[in-house]
């Protein structure tokens, strides 16, 4: 049976890999709508490649360019918030949510509809508004399938037993480009060096998050909401080969792990599948050729973002929302060369500690979460302006 699919973030790294998976199984999917951020030409191209019925660009000013690029194709288009919402509202069995950052929360949340499946790549949705989002998903009977490779692996490993028997669920990190660098060297690294990921090819924000290890911290919070596991039962291991993505240690000492070559098409195909698995013509994992797999503990001294995220998860309430917002602003400033690498963790730490004094409870709705998110963003922006002032003095 053909499944209809809508792709949010279709022009990004996950969006492009999703297009590859869909095109390898043309008879199994029909693409209803594709959504992109600013690049009208890229969106028009993916819409045509996939034979989508509707293409929506978030940036309203790209409306004409998109219309022109699609003229004569029979593909409808729109631009701006209402067009994105229209794309989300259209009939589709599955919505693949791969907009980057908190910008993905509102459209991903709007995509929750009875009986639907959400293939979720946009982890920031769950970090910003995890409880509210998951409560709504459960209420509406929406199945959330994790696309994030670690969570996709955990999803399978966890299916081997009961939640109560899980002693620890572990997600792995490749360690990013600075795994072997000294703190002094990392302190001077620019965004280009931070973006040179040794294993994965990804979008710009997640690349920086991987260099700071904030990505792993966000993933711990994501795992907490997806699998109903508290902070004490979640852990991170650094694993440079990025072959083992997630491990579940059971209370009898046995471990169930998910392994695959590091290619996002594997978890994407898995999150899109209906029953059984989609056959994928990808290179197979040859463990004998790899020879050995190595693991080490993360160094939270050189990568303080990981401990900040762990602390936010433990503290609960609105702290993950605040952490996520401050991080997004700090990462943008770092990419714009306005702050240094360790200013990212410093901004996050200061904003988190300011908000922690207010003991705000976990946002009950997505709107509440976005309100706290805005406040935390403003606090982070102010701090970054202060940094700029100090540097100028
Ligand atoms: P990317 O930057 O390559 O792509 C982001 C996509 O979102 C693009 O299509 C962009 O046009 C669109 N977009 C940006 N702002 C938008 C807005 N306001 N409205 C509508 N669309 C908008 O990012 P990516 O690497 O593909 O990551 C996407 C998400 O998936 C992130 O949340 C990331 O954490 C998660 N993820 C990515 C990977 C990976 O390997 N790339 C792995 C796991 C999880
Ligand atoms: Mg991941």
Q: Give me the number of domains the chain comprises.
A: 1
Q: What is the SS3 assignment for 256?
A: strand
Q: 268 in ligand 1 pocket by Cβ < 6 Å?
A: no
Residue 131 lies in a domain: yes
Is 15 part of a structural domain of the chain? Answer: yes
Residue 28: count of CB within 10 angstroms of its CB: 16
Any atom of ligand 1 within 6 Å of the Cβ of 15: yes
Distances (CA, A) of 163 to 232, 237, 248, 393: 14, 21, 10, 55
- 129 domain-assigned: yes
Question: What are the tokens at 276?
Answer: 């059984």
Q: Determine, yes or no, domain membership for 234.
A: no
Give the Cα separation of 319 and 232 in Å (integer).
17
* Res. 114: pLDDT tops 60: yes
Does residue 9 line the site of ligand 1, with CB under 6 A? yes
Q: Tell me whether residue 197 is in a domain.
A: no
Distance 38 CA to ligand 1 centre (A): 12
Query: For 10-24, how does the pLDDT look when each residue is reduced to its tens digit (9 = 90+)?
Result: 999 999 999 999 999
pLDDT at 198: 87
Residue with tokens 């973030």: 9
Model pLDDT for residues 120-140, shown as the tens digit of each residue: 999 999 999 999 999 999 999
In a domain, 134, yes or no: yes
Q: Is residue 186 part of a domain?
A: no
**Quick check: CB of 94 below 6 Å from ligand 1?**
no
* C-alpha 361 to ligand 2 mean position (Å): 27
Q: What would the pLDDT profile of 300-347 be if each residue is shown by its tens digit?
A: 999 999 999 999 999 999 999 999 999 999 999 999 999 999 999 999
Residue closest via CA to ligand 1's atom 18 equals 103
Residue 329 lies in a domain: no
pLDDT at 393 over 60: no
Percent of the chain having pLDDT more than 70? Answer: 99
**Considering every ligand atom, which ligand is closest to the CA of 264?**
1
Q: Which-ligand-closest: CA of 153?
A: 2
Atom of ligand 1 nearest to the CA of 207: 25
Protein residue with its CA nearest to atom 17 in ligand 1:
37
CB atoms within 10 A of CB 203: 18
Which ligand is in closest contact with the Cα of 14?
Answer: 1
DSSP 3-state of 167:
strand
Does residue 209's CB lie within 6 angstroms of at least one atom of ligand 1? no
Does the beta carbon of 106 sit less than 6 angstroms from any atom of ligand 1? no
Range of the domain at 109: 3-146
pLDDT in tens, 332-391: 999 999 999 999 999 999 999 999 999 999 999 999 999 999 999 999 999 999 988 887
What are the tens digits of pLDDT across the range 47-102? 999 999 999 999 999 999 999 999 999 999 999 999 999 999 999 999 999 999 99
C-beta neighbour count of 180 within 10 angstroms: 9
Q: What is the CATH number of the domain that holds 13?
A: 3.40.50.720
């Amino acid at each position: 049976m053909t499944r209809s699919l809508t792709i949010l973030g279709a022009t990004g790294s996950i969006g492009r890999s999703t297009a590859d998976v869909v095109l390898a199984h043309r008879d199994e999917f029909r693409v209803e709508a594709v959504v992109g951020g600013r690049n009208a030409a890229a969106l028009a191209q993916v819409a045509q490649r996939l034979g989508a019925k509707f293409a929506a660009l978030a940036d309203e000013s790209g409306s004409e360019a998109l219309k022109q690029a699609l003229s004569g194709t029979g593909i409808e288009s729109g631009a701006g918030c209402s067009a994105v919402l229209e794309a989300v509202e259209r009939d589709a069995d599955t919505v693949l949510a791969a907009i980057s950052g908190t910008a993905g929360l509102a459209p991903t949340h709007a995509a929750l509809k009875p009986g639907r499946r959400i293939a979720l790549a946009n982890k920031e949705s769950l970090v910003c508004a995890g409880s509210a989002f998951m409560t709504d998903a459960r209420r509406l009977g929406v199945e959330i399938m994790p696309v994030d490779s670690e969570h996709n692996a955990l999803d399978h490993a966890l299916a081997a037993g009961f939640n109560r028997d899980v002693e620890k669920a572990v997600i792995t990190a490749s360690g990013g480009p600075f795994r072997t660098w000294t703190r002094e060297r990392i302190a001077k690294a620019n965004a280009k060096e931070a973006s040179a990921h040794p294993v994965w090819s990804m979008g710009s924000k997640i690349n920086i998050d991987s260099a700071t290890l904030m990505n792993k911290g966000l993933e711990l919070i994501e795992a907490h909401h997806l699998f109903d596991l508290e902070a004490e039962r979640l852990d991170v291991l650094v694993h440079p080969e990025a072959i083992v993505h997630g491990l579940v240690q059971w209370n009898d000492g046995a471990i169930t792990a998910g392994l695959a070559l590091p290619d996002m098409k594997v978890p994407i195909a898995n999150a899109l599948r209906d029953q059984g698995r989609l056959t994928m013509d990808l290179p197979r994992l040859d463990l004998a050729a790899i020879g050995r797999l190595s693991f080490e503990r993360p160094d939270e001294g050189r990568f303080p973002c990981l401990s900040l995220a762990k602390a936010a998860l433990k503290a609960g309430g609105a702290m993950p929302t605040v952490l996520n917002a401050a991080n997004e602003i700090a990462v943008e400033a770092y990419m714009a060369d306005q702050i240094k690498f360790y200013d990212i963790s410093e901004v996050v730490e200061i904003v988190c500690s300011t908000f922690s004094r207010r003991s705000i409870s976990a946002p009950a709705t997505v709107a509440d979460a976005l309100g706290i998110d805005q406040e935390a963003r403003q606090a982070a922006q102010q701090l970054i302006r202060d940094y700029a002032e100090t540097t100028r003095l």
